[in-house]
Amino acid sequence: MPETTVNYPVTTPPNPHVESFKNVLKRLKKNKAAMVGGFLILFFIVVSIIGPFFTPFDPSEQNHVNKLAGPSLEHWFGTDHHGRDIFSRIIHGMSITLYIGFFSVLIGAVIGVLFGIVSGYFGGKMDAVIMRIMDVLLAFPGILLALGIVSVLGGSLNNVIISVGIFSVPAFARIVRGSTLSVKKLEYIDAVRALGASHFRIIFRHVLPNVMSPIIVQATLRMATAVLTASGLSFLGLGAQPPTPEWGAMLSDGRNYMWDAGHVAFFPGIAIVVVVLAFNIFGDGLRDALDPKMKS
């Protein structure tokens, strides 16, 4: 070597987004709150699958002799105004809640990611148009937008999913657009372009895998919002129709007996709070674990 070479330090550290799964898990384990959230979510999933087989009562079995009874050994969470067992209804409602949450987030994520990635990758006019549409969607208060969509489509469980999905689109689109903009500038994208790769290949093989972690975090946090919004819609009578044991609808039923039999509204309310909280703290923990730089 000639004598003039200087030792240049490596210019950038390894991409912080890309860390081995093991490291992420290790950091996640250190976060107690996130672990509690994670186990709760796991518990909900298990309950929603096997729970319905073990409930003491049928969720729509009416017993008019025993209406609005308080919690007892027989009816753990009491009975509602038709004498239905609230505990059984909440267990059956668990799968509905998770179903709404999962599919609405899935719809929102798929459409949002697609918009965001196209917008960020191609830029220009396409970007301007897509992002302005997203801005319009974001300008509505969430529940109002979902309410509007449901009232156009008609009230049913699946329409709630669609409307909550659409209402989640802009959040995904924005986050993915931002990440795409930063990934697209990296040299490995130029390298595959120099190899002659098509836009399709670059987007799905190279950009998408590298913007995955913010998507996962957003999806977890969105689950909480989706559950809450869906319950809200059902509470207003636009979502699940009776006698479906949907928590929001149950809360709405209980509203009339708030003073005489508070437990009818209390238990579904607590169930919603716990599920939303579990997804929120788990999502927060996941974000910190995936991107340690953000916290410090």
What are the residues binding another protein (CB under 8 A)? 1-8, 10-15, 17-18, 20, 186-188, 190-198, 201, 205-206, 209-210
In angstroms, the first-to-last Cα distance of the chain is: 42
123 versus 148: smaller Cβ distance to another protein: 123
The span from the CA of 121 to the CA of 123, in Å, is 6
24 versus 40: smaller Cβ distance to another protein: 24
Provide the minimum distance between the beta carbon of 221 and another protein in the complex, in angstroms, as a whole number.
23
Q: Would you say 201 and 123 are in contact if contact means Cβ atoms under 8 Å apart?
A: no
64 versus 185: smaller Cβ distance to another protein: 185
Provide the minimum distance between the beta carbon of 220 and another protein in the complex, in angstroms, as a whole number.
21
Provide the minimum distance between the beta carbon of 24 and another protein in the complex, in angstroms, as a whole number.
13
Cα dihedral value 246, 249, 251, 254, nearest 10: -120
187 versus 260: smaller Cβ distance to another protein: 187
Which DSSP state fits 47?
H
Provide the minimum distance between the beta carbon of 211 and another protein in the complex, in angstroms, as a whole number.
11
* Segments in the chain forming alpha helices (H): 21-30, 32-54, 86-122, 124-139, 142-153, 157-184, 187-194, 199-201, 208-210, 212-235, 247-255, 263-290, 292-295
Q: Would you say 237 and 252 are in contact if contact means Cβ atoms under 8 Å apart?
A: yes
Helical axes 86-122 vs 124-139, angle rounded to 10°: 150
4 versus 260: smaller Cβ distance to another protein: 4
Provide the minimum distance between the beta carbon of 200 and another protein in the complex, in angstroms, as a whole number.
12
Residue 18 backbone zone (phi > 0: left; psi -120 to 50: alpha; other: beta): beta
The span from the CA of 288 to the CA of 282, in Å, is 10
Provide the minimum distance between the beta carbon of 296 and another protein in the complex, in angstroms, as a whole number.
21
Provide the minimum distance between the beta carbon of 122 and another protein in the complex, in angstroms, as a whole number.
14
In the structure encoding, which two tokens stand for residue 258, read together?
């708030």
